[in-house]
Amino acid sequence: MKLNLRQIEVFNAVMLNKSITAAAARLGSSQPTLSREIRDIESRLGFELFLRFGKRLTPTEQAILLHEVVLRSFVGLDEISRAASAIRTHNAANFRIASIPAYAESIIPRVMQRLLKQRPAIHFSIHSHEEPSLRHEMTTQVFDLCLAENLLDRENASSETVVVGNMVCVLPQGHDLAAQPVLTPADFTGQPFIYFSQNDPYRHKLDAVFLEAGVTRSYIGETTTAASVCAMVAAGVGVSVINPLTAASHIGGPVVFRRLSVEVPYRVALWHPARSTRQAHLRRFIAGLHEAVAEMAAELDRHLVPMPAG
């Protein structure tokens, strides 16, 4: 049942080009040869990869699932090619970061900007996943650094947390609650509220805050990323409470932010191999991350209405 590299290349080419003729042209082969090779692959696997309607091919569900795995393999092969090119041109190897989307959309670009201004010989490869998928990716691929909301329990790993600040309320421009510098849980009574997904750790923390206050919000929907929460709030769908990093990256947009009277501390969890071959880049990135966190916290603090005196 084991496939050789040529068979994997043929399968990948057909999936990407959605045509045996186009795949054959890409591989410098012929349509009859690739058709025969696809039949040999199916015979070896023991299931159909494509449904045939004349000259048109439709991938089966099994083919789609298999191709997801193949694509990850080709990413690995691309990494090898890029590393070889970097060695040849005396550039640094790729610095691979696994992260939840909230950080890929907020703080990571700022850290990259800082490091690139220093002109280090480094190329970044950012892999963004929701945290449950992120845990799976960490077991199947090698990363130089992982940014998540929870520390990952890994052997031969170093980890730390970075305190960012407190969760903040997000409201549409002109919302009645925006007139208040600080919002209490009671202010959200009956408000259409946008929740995070049920497996989000900060949803659980916020739910506990509102439960303790005896406040019932109006459930309007849920989503997986803070950026999509902001988009929904901007559209007038509802209000919410989000992390300070995403808030800082959305200052000046169609939403406003206000303090929450109950402090809900937000932390970024960092994981990296205990023995990394890119320690210098790792130290630079983590130092840049601390600087960017402080910068974004200051920007958000300036945006928030000052707390009442006394």
At residue 309, the pLDDT reads 56
**Residues 174, 236 within the same domain:** yes
Q: Which CATH number do you get for residue 291?
A: 3.40.190.10
Q: How far is CA 142 from CA 96, 98, 249, in A?
A: 8, 9, 29
**Residues 271, 153 within the same domain:** yes
Our count of domains for the chain comes to 3
As a whole number, the mean pLDDT across the chain is 85
Q: Model confidence over 28-68: pLDDT tens digits? A: 889 899 989 999 999 888 888 988 776 678 888 888 888 88
CA distance 56 to 91: 44
- Comparing 189 with 6, which gets the higher pLDDT? 189
**Residues 179, 247 within the same domain:** yes
**Residues 156, 291 within the same domain:** yes
**Residues 275, 144 within the same domain:** yes
**Residues 217, 258 within the same domain:** yes
| Residue 74: φ, ψ to 5° | -70, -30
At residue 121, the pLDDT reads 67
211 part of a folded domain: yes
Q: Which two tokens stand for residue 131?
A: 């945290």
- Supply the range of the domain harboring residue 29: 5-71
186-205 average pLDDT score: 93
85 part of a folded domain: no
**Residues 113, 262 within the same domain:** no
**Cβ–Cβ < 8 Å for 159, 221:** no
CA distance 148 to 267: 9
At residue 308, the pLDDT reads 58
Is residue 154 scored above 70 in pLDDT? no
21-34 average pLDDT score: 89
**Residues 172, 252 within the same domain:** yes
Angle between helices 5-17 and 31-45 (to 10 degrees): 110
CA distance 181 to 189: 17
CA distance 118 to 134: 30
Q: Which CATH number do you get for residue 67?
A: 1.10.10.10
**Residues 50, 172 within the same domain:** no
Closest CA to 147 of 297, 301, 290: 290
For the chain, the three-class secondary structure string (H helix, E strand, C coil) is CCCCHHHHHHHHHHHHHCCHHHHHHHHCCCHHHHHHHHHHHHHHHCCCCEEEECCEEEECHHHHHHHHHHHHHHHHHHHHHHHHHHHHCCCCCEEEEEECHHHHCCHHHHHHHHHHHCCCCCEEEEEECCHHHHHHHHHHCCCCEEEECCCCCCCCEEEEEEEEEECEEEEECCCHHHHCCEECHHHHCCCEEEEECCCCHHHHHHHHHHHHCCCCCEEEEEECCHHHHHHHHHCCCCEEEECHHHHHHCCCCCEEEEEECCCCEEEEEEEEECCCCCHHHHHHHHHHHHHHHHHHHHHHHHHCCCCCCC
**With a threshold of 0.95, does the pTM exceed it?**
no
CA distance 50 to 60: 5
**Residues 18, 38 within the same domain:** yes
53 part of a folded domain: yes
154 part of a folded domain: yes
Task: Report the residue count for the chain.
Answer: 310
**Residues 177, 255 within the same domain:** yes
307 part of a folded domain: no
308 part of a folded domain: no
**Cβ–Cβ < 8 Å for 38, 8:** no
| Total Cβ atoms within 10 A of residue 81 | 9
**Residues 138, 202 within the same domain:** no
Q: Model confidence over 219-258: pLDDT tens digits? A: 999 998 999 999 999 999 999 999 999 999 999 999 999 9
Predicted confidence band of residue 271 (pLDDT cuts 50, 70, 90):
confident
276 part of a folded domain: yes
82 part of a folded domain: no
At residue 52, the pLDDT reads 78
Q: How far is CA 208 from CA 103, 176, 203, 215, in A?
A: 24, 25, 9, 10
